Amino acid sequence: MSRIQETFRKLKRARRGGFIPFITVGDPDLATTERLLIELANSGADIIELGVPFSDPVADGEVIQRASERALRNGVTVQDALRCARNVTRRIDVPLVLFSYFNPLLQFGEERLALAASRAGIDAVLVTDLIPEEAGSWIQNLCRHRLDPIFLVAPTTSDKRLTQIAQQARGFIYAVSRAGVTGERDRMTRDAEILVRRIRSLSDLPVAVGFGISTAEQVTGVWRFADAAVIGSAIVREIEKLSHSPDPMKCVGEFVRSLIPPVQLSAFQ
């Protein structure tokens, strides 16, 4: 059983949904990223997504785009992301998902990446723009090194592709709450709930919902029909303000804790 599977089993026993924050490696710098990972783990994160900066993040809104730009100006690479993970896994016991577009990973090398990620303590890899029809060798490499391949599905995903993803995914399935790019939204649509129902008709894997979630109330809403909520842009926006804070880690920690609702049973647990 993978650490991600065990995490969701623990959440189910605790009768609560999961909280999955996202940050970009190297924003504002690598040393701060390592401190942020530890702070996120101490603030209640159940799983953490570690974003590899990319020059053309087409699925991301302006907040995460700016984070990638800042990290790339610092020269941050895939190797840096793996080193960052390796440095913190000795100090935290929270599963890490490497979150990336495919181009940087392809440049690094598929088999080399799987081996290096496993040695760094990464638990899963999510590639935003890799379609399941072209992911066969990629999935084999990840599974060979005991890494969970995570896939994104959207409200526009066809039944045929959704069926294929349900067969190939491990760990959990990431349901995009709406069409479009990442970014905070004032309210959630019913698209995510309908999508989660479609996924559950095909797979027993836990489902995490992301894109547009930015408040504790929205997390509560997601927990009513899914297993976990992912928050990225709202946290990355707080990190963007770090240079103006006298105690950056405390501010981020307090903000993250404010996003996690009291224990609440999901309708599907």
Domain 3-258 in CATH 3.20.20.140? The answer is: no
Q: For 88-135, what is each residue's pLDDT tens digit?
A: 998 999 999 999 999 999 999 999 999 999 999 999 999 999 999 999
Q: Is the pTM of this model over 0.95?
A: no
Answer yes or no: is pLDDT of 23 > 90.
yes
220 Cβ neighbours under 8 A, 6+ residues apart: 261, 264
Model confidence at 243, pLDDT cuts 50, 70, 90, reads low
Q: Where are the domains of the chain?
A: 3-258
Structure tokens at 82: 């793996």
Catalytic positions, please? Answer: 49, 60
Distance CA 203, CA 27 (A): 35
Q: For 257-269, what is each residue's pLDDT tens digit?
A: 999 998 655 544 4
With beta carbons less than 8 A apart as the criterion, state whether 126 and 97 touch.
Answer: yes
Distance CA 46, CA 97 (A): 11
